[in-house]
Amino acid sequence: MKKFLSMLLILALAASVFTACGDKPASSGSTTDAPAASSSEPEPQEPPYDPAVLTGLPKSDDYPEGQRVTAVMVNNISNTSYQQARPQNGLSEADVLIEIKVEGGITRFCALFTDYRDLPEICPVRSARDQFFQLILPLQPLYVHIGESVVQTQYVKDYSYQDMDLNLDRMGDFPRDASKGNVAREHTAYVDGDFIQKAIDALGADTRRDYTSPIFDFVNYNEPARVLTGDNALGITIEHSQSYRTYFDWDAAAGKYLMSQYSYAARDILPSTDANNGTQLSFDNVIVLFTDFDVYPDPGGSGYDLQKVDYTFGGVDGAIHRAAGPGLTAACRTLGGCAVGEAKLTAGYELPCRYVIHTVGPVWQGGEHGERALLASCYRRSLELARQHGCETIAFPLISTGAYGYPKPQAMQVAVETIVQFLMENDMTVYLVVFSKDALMVGGKLFGQVTAYIDDVYVDTHLDLAREVLFITI
């Protein structure tokens, strides 16, 4: 027990040293030290960083604080003059635009908007697919679409997303843009701010959400712009399929990438324009995500080659996969998935460890959807698996605090309490690895609470056992 308590005290001291940023040495607490001279100059304070969730820029005066962002599925087919969705309406207003391949080799868009209330016409609205839903899920947006794939239907059920899912099929009818001319009817449906509000009222959608972090790890707008190195990316070509290719060309005068697409109907590369204003779509940043595509099984014989996209390569998970090599990825495909709060185990492959334990953390939804219990279950089930396989040591990241948005103070509290409860009955060394300054500061504040918890609950009944909990910062 002395080993455990000593470790906590040492780490508490280390945390205080790491968070001391000045040039003066930390006080030793000695009563013989001369008192420090007071300074009339106030300590400089870092300006607040409170970015807009989709752009990373300072929030405007009319920013919709506490409101969910909105995601709208938009068609992109351009096979013939009849099967034609281009030019679309409203895409130049999107804060983020996502393009991914769907069935039949075509692509589709998901346009993200900060505020649905003042949206112009967005057309043509199309059905939902899970490869988009998985990407936007951490944002918990209002998800606007007409219809969905069978796989997406299951995702909505699995994530209890009904309160944020604006499937306009449930509305019975929606507006059509007659100016689209002689095109298939499914390429004429549109929404705007007024109709989205109507759908929210009719379907009882939950529009409230407080965001704790932006969609990307943007450079703080109070800091100098990042100076990039490497070759200039003057042009980008993305080939989704033989007939669907997207091009981005750098316009130095505008300081933006201008978007064009190959049109099979025209047999030519054409500028991607917004039918609302005739402008070519342009972007400050283009992010290309490379990943594996497969096809979902089709037991019903529908003939649709619904695309199955593998997103298991980001964040801590992605770093582990890259270090472990292709064997780990192949092993994960045999696991049959993993439910939120559960854990599964594979070999470590090229990693310097025997095993990798895989767990799925909860997406933060405000704390009223069982997130705490699910997060605790992630740690508990992982620890149980480690014990069953004879592990003496296990290392955790701070689960769910990245893209899934779980607030770090609350996540740290859950992690520490669950780990300590496990160690009351089991011998194991547990590492909790944190990756940011704010997480470290949160961890430092918890050390006193953890020590008190151990003194109150642990010492009296477990004096014969030694335990270690290590906090590591990167």
Mention every residue, 6+ apart, whose C-beta is less than 8 A from residue 404: 138, 361, 362, 363, 364
* Residue with token string 């054409």: 270
What is the layout of strands, in order, in the sheet containing 393-397?
Answer: 393-397, 429-434, 468-473
Contact 53, 86 (CB under 8 A): no
The CB-side HSE value for 378 (13 A sphere, CA atoms) comes to 24
* Residue with token string 């767990």: 359
Cα-flanking dihedrals φ and ψ of residue 42, to 5°?
-70, 150
- What does the alpha-carbon distance between residue 421 and residue 133 come to, in Å, rounded to a whole number? 36
- What does the alpha-carbon distance between residue 153 and residue 186 come to, in Å, rounded to a whole number? 20
Torsional class of 115: left (φ above 0), alpha (ψ -120 to 50), beta (otherwise): beta
Strands of 231-291, DSSP E: 235-239, 245-251, 256-263, 268-271, 282-283
Mention every residue, 6+ apart, whose C-beta is less than 8 A from residue 14: none
State how far the alpha carbon of 249 is from the alpha carbons of 125, 138, 286, 323, in Å.
27, 30, 11, 34
317 as an active site residue: the answer is yes
Strands of 135-219, DSSP E: 142-145, 165-167
* Residue with token string 């409203």: 90
Torsional class of 315: left (φ above 0), alpha (ψ -120 to 50), beta (otherwise): left
- Catalytic residue selected from 163, 210, 317, 438: 317
Taking the CA atoms of residue 435, residue 436, residue 440 and residue 443 in that order, the dihedral angle to the nearest 10 degrees is -70
**78 C-beta neighbours (distance < 10 Å), count:** 22
Active-site residue numbers? Answer: 317
